[in-house]
């Protein structure tokens, strides 16, 4: 069974940093691209970042470019999102999602809540 479990969310002050993790199991993690998607309270889905299976290709949304860094450790079956210079508008539930074949997310984690507030 495919499972994605996010962790690392919490309350952080504006300007602070946080590192999210996504632990994958039930599939060959190293064969799949991965994405982070976020959802602000009461709002829709916003794609955040993409990383290819070998980490050779990485994309970011303009809203997080230069502040967030996506990475992965295929030996540990884990995906990460390092978030720096956090802003109020980064408050959201952050989901990791497996990329079926560079087109859509076929499996999603349950999400981890990040709250940026003073």
Partner 1 sequence: EIVLTQSPGTLSLSPGERATLSCRASQSVSSSYLAWYQQKPGQAPRLLIYGASSRATGIPDRFSGSGSGTDFTLTISRLEPEDFAVYYCQQYGSSPAWTFGQGTKVEIK
Binding residues for partner 1 (CB under 8 A):
35, 37, 44-47, 50, 59, 61-62, 95, 97, 100, 102-111
What CA–CA distance (Å, rounded) separates 16 from 96?
21
To the nearest whole angstrom, how small is the minimum distance from the Cβ of residue 13 to partner 1? 26
Question: Is 8 buried (19+), middle (13-18) or exposed (0-12) by CB count in 10 A?
Answer: middle
- CB-nearer residue toward partner 1: 85 or 110: 110
What CA–CA distance (Å, rounded) separates 64 from 85?
10
How many helical (H) and strand (E) elements, i.e. helices and strands, does the chain have?
A: 0, 11
- CB-nearer residue toward partner 1: 35 or 80: 35
To the nearest whole angstrom, how small is the minimum distance from the Cβ of residue 50 to partner 1? 4
- CB-nearer residue toward partner 1: 7 or 110: 110
């Amino acid at each position: 069974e495919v499972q994605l479990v996010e962790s690392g969310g919490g309350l952080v002050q504006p300007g602070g940093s946080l590192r999210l993790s996504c632990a994958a199991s039930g599939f060959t993690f190293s064969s799949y691209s991965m994405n982070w998607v976020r959802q602000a309270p009461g709002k829709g889905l916003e794609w955040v970042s993409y990383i290819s299976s070998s980490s050779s290709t990485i994309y970011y949304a303009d809203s997080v470019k230069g502040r967030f860094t996506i990475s992965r450790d295929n030996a540990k079956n884990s995906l990460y999102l390092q978030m720096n210079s956090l802003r109020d508008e980064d408050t959201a539930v952050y989901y990791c999602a497996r990329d079926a074949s560079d087109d859509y997310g076929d499996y999603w984690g349950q999400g981890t809540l990040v709250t940026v507030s003073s």
